[in-house]
Structure 1
Amino acid sequence: MVINERMTKMNKCKRLLCLLLTLATVLSICAVGFTASAAEVEVVDVSAKATPTSASDFTWDNATVYFLLTDRFQNGNTSNDNSYNRGLNENGSKANYNEVAAFQGGDFKGITQKIKEGYFDDLGVNAIWVAGWFEQTHGYVVGGDGKNSFAHYAYHGYYGLDFTELDKNYGTEAEFKEMITTAHEHGIRIVLDVVLNHPGYNSIYDMNEYNFGTLTSNWKSVYYNWNGINQNNYHGCIKYNDGQASDWARWWGRDWLRAGMAGYDNNGHGNPLTEAVTYLPDFKTESSATVQIPELLKTKWTREGTYNAKVNEINETFSKYNLGNKTVSNYLIAWYAKWVEEYGIDGFRCDTAKHVDKNTWGRLSAACTKALENWRKANPSAVGADWDEEFWTTGEHFDKGLGKDDYYTTGGFDSMINFAFSGNSVGGNTTGFKRVGNLNQTYADYAGKINTDDSFNALTYISSHDTGLCRDDLYYQGSALLLLPGGVQIYYGDETNRSVVQCSINDHAIRGFMNWNSMDKNVLAHWQKVGSFRNNHVAVGAGSHKNLSATSGTAFARMYDKGGVKDTVVCVISANKNSSTTITLSGAFADGTKVVNAYTGDKATVSGGKVTFNSGAQGTILVEVDSSAVEVPTTTPVVKPTEAPSTAPVVKPTEGPTTAPVVKPTEVPTTAPVGTDPSETTPIVTIPPASKPTTDPTTTPTTAPVVTPAEKVILGDADLNNQVSIKDATLIQKDLAKIVTLDEKATFAGDVDGNKTLSIKDVTYIQKHLAQMTIEFAVGEEVVYKEGTTVTVPVKPTDAPVKPTDAPVVPTDAPEDPTDAPVVPTDAPVVPTDAPVVPTDAPVVPTDAPVDPTDAPVIPTDAPIDPPVSDTVTIYFKNTYGWSDVYWHAWNDAGGTNTPWPGDPMTQVSGDVYSAEVSTEYTGIIFNDGSGSDSAKTDDTTISAGQMFANGSWVEYDPNGGGGYDDPIPPTPDGNTIYVKDSAGWGTVYCHSWSDFSGTVWPGEQMTSLGNGVFSISVDPGHTGVVFNNGNGTQTGNLTPNYGQIYDNATDTWSPYTDNGGGGGGGDDIIVSGDYIYFTDNQNWGTVYCHTWNMDGGTTVWPGTQMEFVDGKYRAMVDGSHTKVKFNGGLGGPESGEFDLVLGNSYSN
């Protein structure tokens, strides 16, 4: 079904237009009926914390969507934390287990608390995407594999059990309604995450609770053994194919699902509509067959006493929305539409859109659009009932970039999620916006494609729950994202520098709890300023883009002029910090226009087509019309449309914040901008932003003090990029190893203990800080590097004459007095543009030996070493030309770099498909056969990362037919073990593995030593790539895991593995007993790790290797070259003293 009646962008602003026309009409009346001398104007202050009765100035075209996982955001009601016995022992007591993938307490009430506090208002957020709301499977499945397995509950909200009920861990219906109502009172839309492709897995707990499937009799001893969780034991309790089909029919049933067990159809491989996404059971949404309510829900609703009411509700909803036959997809549409009709939901984010046919998505959109209309009619007094934008949907097609297709027509989507600035899951750190290349060109491209087409938009992000956290210079990333044309998405914690948590599976590592107690307040303040500016100006997201020039940085203008609404802004990002920056406006603002930098509150007047501001500590300038300088014409006083003054109004100044004036589209009132007909007599009414009034000097001073602020650095920030990361520890180690030499400022920042010398102790302090351990020094906080100065200098007269009645324009380099000088925030460090660049290769550990146990390098897994992939993108080519070889020749359109013709050879993937890793420096490319012939090459084309060039155009490359999703928890098949022969003498071997959907955290899991230089590990069977490394900078290239084979790290070859270490070097029978050390846990730590190292810099990654419990003791295989050991209870847990490491010895606490 094609949706033909979607609201256009102009219609979405019609309420604001109506307001403006009403005001214009009142103006003309007032001009006749009242005298100018008594005119009183009341300026409407729509401040950030105001409670609008109608957010009629909202448009999805300028949406800032905040994506949060309900369970991981804020705990507002602790009484619901263990609903459905989650996390409890069989006797009801609280279990002691690894809760990294468990429910952690966040709920609807917590979200409501933060809305009321104004957290989202301050950030400029106008929509919240809520993941986790309907009832999830009650029990856990197994996350991870082997020694790192853990309980994985459906905390994220993607493993549905009952789509008609809220999950009690998230809250009650009253709390759900309060969350939505409170959001609407703040002008914030609520977008719910919906799933049509699949329900949740068949957890052991749910199988027993609802009597479906076939379990073994010992399931309880397996399920409640919290410290012995593993895939083999768990799935060994479930009889998938040797059980009774009648038992499994009591689940969803064959008509509803493809699940591959007794009585169910198998999943369709290679077909996105019928294949299993990460082994999840697949709803038959493409089927036109009529189905009954599944037995699982019949059982559940009957027990809860709601069966008859549910059936009646289903029948009513089918009839009301004309859904037709009771197919699988129509049941799901009916259930979701009912939520919209009952609560006034504003939109849906549609999970795994690729795996559901587009007609179904179109029907869901149409039904929910009607359902929202019905809610507004039934609740006329509710906040939001008078909003006029239609129901909104955005879809997730994993790896989809910016491009319009039938998702927007047949699928009825208003938007699709844009993966263009998200890296893959390798290493768990996304790329975001790169500083190389032309950001203005990206902006122009997005504005040109999105804001010229009323039926097209995208939702762009830099971090997400499926890929990774972008933590590369969050000041720059915040500006680049929030000033992007089109819709943008903030992933919770982007704005506070939330870090990853320790977990062997990347998906859970990037979904930690919101860091309320460790927020980076400087980063947050920056995002709040830029986010508020975006929210206050429709031109930012919805306007046309114009490149401007400035003395430094990326400068541009955005202009919006639709339906009587006009808005213009000018921005500069990445300017030289704390420098006087002149912007050439190219007609964006007319001469004489008084403007303000919304980032700092500094004011200026446009002269000679230019304006100058100080760039501040973050090199960010956000220019808007200075509302405090607006002159209201005496013949056309502005009044509120709801009031007719009985006396002529008097103009009243407004007062508001200087850093984040809050207003929607502004207009230059005194001088018509370029392109405007000054003869027009119908006024365009402006609701100006509130701003703090200032007093302009009446005379030009002859001298003025120039204040040089104190120069500060962040303690531990050795690379001077305004944040402390593992790269800083790496850089100091390289300085100690004399690979690089840090300058004076970088050395000062890296000298954590303040002893004037860099040492391994400074490295350790940084690593412990990143691991959130307590240290005695203020790592991460600002310290003064150089004190500020004040000097008095002559003031040059201004170039332009100043009228006697006007306030003079005072140059920014010569303020009248110190209080008028440009204010440089002292809470943001000044970072030079020539800060040392940290290489992306892994760190070199210095030869300095740790002085004591606290000096052992502590490299937390929540601050990963650089992943193996950096500054390159993968592209593909379909060789339909029959060339025997394929080459790629690339260049940068800006000049300066290119590959010599005919370029480099591509690697054959399979058949006629080839791939290549291409530097992100390059923008254009030609494919050819390597012969140099002009007849055997393609035309020039722009590089499209991750896509395949086929038959003259870029298309999506999808070899596996799968989409991105939450980490898979399939039964682990036998034979997923791989081996490494350490012929290169690394000593310690790690395995980092990944797929399109998930990955381990770099450097991966430490492999188990089998002796004789042979190491083994069982990897996730869904992972398609591996990199072996020593955890300390030496690594292989990207490899395909060959199960049951052994890889030789000296010869770069795979061969069959034999239990005597063959297939890579052969050898004698393995002797393993001498590689163990043992530990007796007298203090009941519960979990024990051993961290080992030697005096040559060899070390495990803190907290070390998790020990296994065997015959009453813990044991672990360790590197025989290590000489020291320290036992601990895991990250942040108890620690033992330091011991000499002797293989075969037993230790205790």
Structure 2
Amino acid sequence: MGRVNGALFLITILLFNSVFATSAFAVEKEERKWQDESIYFLMVDRFANGDSSNDQFIDTQDPLAYHGGDFKGIQDRLDHIDDMGFTTMLLTPIFQNEEGGFHGYWIEDFYETEDHFGSIDEFKQLVDAAHERGIKVILDFVVSYTGPNHPWVSDSKKEDWYHEESPMDNDLDHVQNEWIDGLPALNTENPEVSEYLFDAAKWWIEETDIDGYRLNNVEHVTADFLTEFSQEVKSVKENFYLIGEVYGNEIGEIATYANPGIDGFLDFPLAEQMRSAFKNVDQSTSSLFNYWDDSQQFIENPYLMGNFIDNQEMSRFTRLAADENMFPGTRWELATAFMFTVPGIPIMYYGSEIALDGGEGPDNIPLMDFNVDEELKDYISDLGRLRQELPALTRGSLDVLHNDHGMLVYKREYQDEIIIIAINNTSTTQKVTLSDEELRNDGELRGLLGGDLVRENNGNYDIVLDREVAEIYALTDKVGFNYWLLSAVAVVWIFFISLFIYMKKRGKRNQQ
């Protein structure tokens, strides 16, 4: 009987779903572009330990020591990344590092993997396993400096491979010669240096079939180098993605390093805006959307900018929320809802799905914990699924319909698909009325996260949201009573009930 009830319930649900398949989801599936991606950014050493044989000098209690993360651990946890709907993963540098370079940025050999992480064959297996799931792989590639004790530093024949030591200052004329935190700055104007980096970058693509590079501190190399670097790596693999890291308080500053070869940049100004707006309720959001106006003005393809809330250079967003005496899980939900539904490629730093805490580095890069409550992870999974299903969220225009101290309503539109995002980051229930001029007559807004339903009434749509809640609505045609559906459901129920009665009577006769 249980199986009969289960089948009956399933058929009923399928019938209802067939009716609610509307024009909101009728946009034809197009070829996958980089702006359709969502990226999970992880520090290799701090993610997952899958192979104890490479655990030399591991000390999980020392924040400056290796903690055991490796390629095998990442491969074992690919389902964790895939389940959240992430389509790309970004790894910190995997190359052989000097002693103590657990983070990967003190590169000693650009052609070898770090022993603590595993062999190049194990990395190839990781890339293959990711590709089998449809997950792309981006590597962090450092072009501006090496480790402080790299063999080149003491090689008299390579004195001109580095700039003379120069401290960091605010003079833009000096920025390309600066030593970052005492790390020797590579002289990429030297043809030997640039050729070496070009060859190494191409070698990894040819050997492992990776899909992109994150270029660290690109403000410390010349524009000519970046242009040529792009040409070289993209000659090896079509649609290879390059995203640059440039610290800047305004998009205009970042855009000074833009050139046709770099596809996008990490959006530091937006990150600061999101962290400020969502760490607490009732915060000013008046300038939250300015980033999009600026990006369209200064960036060739603003949809390829990288949107992020946390990275290895910042205190965790969880710490900001805790300092405000706010519940981090809710703060993360609203901030992530915003990041996943505005133009740009969302980049989530490992541990954000469990509201991992941490102050300034290295406190902000603890070992990942997989044995925690998955409520926030499930929420991110829902957002990731919707972002994959709704082209308007990755390709659509952005129109802000309401923005008042944390109550946000904005529209994404692509072809015939209209999606409305409402985020109530305030301390009270909020009501926002939209006119049919902003949407259309005789429609309804169907909530895809919480199941809310808003019907057009006298030319208006009244959205009412509880405090600290977000909803994503699809604008669809108004659905009334569907008598065909009701009849079909009734026929199914009558059939199964009749079948059950017949089988029960037959069973009694057989017993007699």
TM-score (norm 2): 0.75
Deviation at 1:553, TM superposition (A): 3.0
Supply the distance in 1 between the matched residues of 2:456 and 2:397 (Cα, whole angstroms): 21
| Partner of residue 362, structure 1 | 227
Deviation at 1:156, TM superposition (A): 0.9
Q: 1:556 to 1:522 in 2, by over 3 A?
A: same
| Partner of residue 183, structure 1 | 130
Equivalences for residues 539-938 of structure 1 within 5 A: 539-549=392-402, 553-561=407-415, 566-574=416-424, 583-584=433-434, 586-587=436-437, 589-593=439-443, 595-603=445-453, 605-611=455-461, 615=465, 618-624=468-474, 805=483
Supply the distance in 2 between the matched residues of 1:584 and 1:513 (Cα, whole angstroms): 46
Q: 1:585 to 1:540 in 2, by over 3 A?
A: farther
Deviation track 1:499-544 (CA, whole Å, cap 9, x = no partner) reads 127xxxx321111111222x45333333333333233323224321
| Partner of residue 11, structure 2 | none
Tell whether the 8 Å contact from 1:337 to 1:364 is kept in structure 2 after alignment: no
Deviation track 1:760-780 (CA, whole Å, cap 9, x = no partner) reads xxxxxxxxxxxxxxxxxxxxx
Does residue 175 of structure 2 align to residue 280 of structure 1?
Answer: no
Supply the distance in 2 between the matched residues of 1:588 and 1:480 (Cα, whole angstroms): 20
Tell whether the 8 Å contact from 1:447 to 1:543 is kept in structure 2 after alignment: no
Instruction: Return the letter of the residue paired with 1:600.
Output: G
| Partner of residue 397, structure 1 | 246
- Select which of 62, 83, 86 maps to 1:125: 86
Q: 1:167 to 1:618 in 2, by over 3 A?
A: same
| Partner of residue 134, structure 1 | 95
Supply the distance in 1 between the matched residues of 2:249 and 2:450 (Cα, whole angstroms): 37
Supply the distance in 2 between the matched residues of 1:281 and 1:454 (Cα, whole angstroms): 32
Instruction: Return the letter of the residue paired with 2:125.
Output: E
Q: 1:451 to 1:535 in 2, by over 3 A?
A: farther
| Partner of residue 111, structure 1 | 74
Deviation track 1:407-441 (CA, whole Å, cap 9, x = no partner) reads 2226x2111112114569xxxx9646465666475
Does residue 224 of structure 2 align to residue 371 of structure 1?
Answer: no
Tell whether the 8 Å contact from 2:168 to 2:180 is kept in structure 1 after alignment: no
The runs of 5 or more residues in structure 1 that have no matched partner are 1-40, 45-54, 88-95, 140-152, 204-209, 214-247, 259-264, 289-326, 374-389, 626-667, 672-695, 697-801, 809-1149
Q: 1:268 to 1:448 in 2, by over 3 A?
A: closer
| Partner of residue 150, structure 1 | none
Q: 1:516 to 1:360 in 2, by over 3 A?
A: same
Supply the distance in 1 between the matched residues of 2:431 and 2:336 (Cα, whole angstroms): 20
Supply the distance in 2 between the matched residues of 1:269 and 1:612 (Cα, whole angstroms): 54
More helix by share: 2
| Partner of residue 201, structure 2 | 336
Q: 1:575 to 1:509 in 2, by over 3 A?
A: closer
Tell whether the 8 Å contact from 2:424 to 2:467 is kept in structure 1 after alignment: no
Supply the distance in 2 between the matched residues of 1:178 and 1:161 (Cα, whole angstroms): 23
Supply the distance in 2 between the matched residues of 1:186 and 1:594 (Cα, whole angstroms): 36
Q: 1:538 to 1:408 in 2, by over 3 A?
A: farther
Deviation at 1:614, TM superposition (A): 6.4
Equivalences for residues 217-232 of structure 1 within 5 A: none
Answer 1 or 2: higher relative contact order, Cα 8 Å, separation at least 6.
2
Instruction: Return the letter of the residue paired with 2:70.
Output: D
SS of residue matched to 1:620: strand
| Partner of residue 32, structure 2 | 58
Instruction: Return the letter of the residue paired with 1:358.
Output: A
Q: 1:269 to 1:156 in 2, by over 3 A?
A: closer
Equivalences for residues 224-623 of structure 1 within 5 A: 248-249=154-155, 253-258=158-163, 265-267=164-166, 271-288=174-191, 327-373=192-238, 390-403=239-252, 405-409=255-259, 412-422=261-271, 431=276, 433=278, 439=285, 442-443=288-289, 445-446=291-292, 449-450=295-296, 454-456=300-302, 457-471=304-318, 472=321, 473-500=331-358, 506-517=360-371, 519=372, 521-549=374-402, 553-561=407-415, 566-574=416-424, 583-584=433-434, 586-587=436-437, 589-593=439-443, 595-603=445-453, 605-611=455-461, 615=465, 618-623=468-473
Q: 1:585 to 1:123 in 2, by over 3 A?
A: farther
Bigger radius of gyration among the two: 1
SS of residue matched to 2:175: coil
Supply the distance in 1 between the matched residues of 2:208 and 2:231 (Cα, whole angstroms): 17
Aligned-residue CA RMSD (Å): 3.7
Supply the distance in 2 between the matched residues of 1:601 and 1:165 (Cα, whole angstroms): 51
Deviation at 1:593, TM superposition (A): 3.8
Supply the distance in 2 between the matched residues of 1:448 and 1:430 (Cα, whole angstroms): 19
Q: 1:113 to 1:614 in 2, by over 3 A?
A: farther
Supply the distance in 1 between the matched residues of 2:458 and 2:334 (Cα, whole angstroms): 30
The runs of 5 or more residues in structure 2 that have no matched partner are 1-17, 22-28, 322-330, 487-512
Supply the distance in 2 between the matched residues of 1:804 and 1:480 (Cα, whole angstroms): 35
Deviation at 1:193, TM superposition (A): 0.3
Deviation at 1:447, TM superposition (A): 5.7
* Count of aligned residue pairs for this structure pair: 442
Tell whether the 8 Å contact from 2:255 to 2:299 is kept in structure 1 after alignment: no
Q: 1:284 to 1:178 in 2, by over 3 A?
A: same
Deviation at 1:498, TM superposition (A): 0.4
Deviation at 1:573, TM superposition (A): 0.5
Tell whether the 8 Å contact from 1:122 to 1:532 is kept in structure 2 after alignment: no
Supply the distance in 2 between the matched residues of 1:522 and 1:804 (Cα, whole angstroms): 35
Supply the distance in 2 between the matched residues of 1:610 and 1:499 (Cα, whole angstroms): 43
Deviation at 1:372, TM superposition (A): 0.8
SS of residue matched to 2:317: coil
Supply the distance in 2 between the matched residues of 1:112 and 1:523 (Cα, whole angstroms): 22
Supply the distance in 1 between the matched residues of 2:189 and 2:316 (Cα, whole angstroms): 34
Supply the distance in 2 between the matched residues of 1:803 and 1:268 (Cα, whole angstroms): 72
Instruction: Return the letter of the residue paired with 1:461.
Output: F
SS of residue matched to 2:365: coil
SS of residue matched to 2:251: coil
Instruction: Return the letter of the residue paired with 2:182.
Output: Y
Deviation track 1:305-343 (CA, whole Å, cap 9, x = no partner) reads xxxxxxxxxxxxxxxxxxxxxx11111111011111222
Tell whether the 8 Å contact from 1:76 to 1:107 is kept in structure 2 after alignment: yes
Deviation at 1:349, TM superposition (A): 0.8
Q: 1:477 to 1:70 in 2, by over 3 A?
A: same
Deviation track 1:260-319 (CA, whole Å, cap 9, x = no partner) reads xxxxx544775222221111122221224xxxxxxxxxxxxxxxxxxxxxxxxxxxxxxx
Instruction: Return the letter of the residue paired with 1:276.
Output: W
Deviation at 1:197, TM superposition (A): 1.3
Q: 1:414 to 1:585 in 2, by over 3 A?
A: farther
Supply the distance in 1 between the matched residues of 2:427 and 2:83 (Cα, whole angstroms): 24
SS of residue matched to 2:383: helix
| Partner of residue 718, structure 1 | none
| Partner of residue 25, structure 2 | none
Instruction: Return the letter of the residue paired with 1:283.
Output: L
Instruction: Return the letter of the residue paired with 2:76.
Output: Q
Equivalences for residues 92-111 of structure 1 within 5 A: 99-111=62-74
Does residue 52 of structure 2 align to residue 78 of structure 1?
Answer: yes
Deviation at 1:621, TM superposition (A): 1.1
TM-score (norm 1): 0.35
SS of residue matched to 2:421: strand
| Partner of residue 309, structure 1 | none
Instruction: Return the letter of the residue paired with 1:253.
Output: K
Tell whether the 8 Å contact from 2:64 to 2:102 is kept in structure 1 after alignment: yes
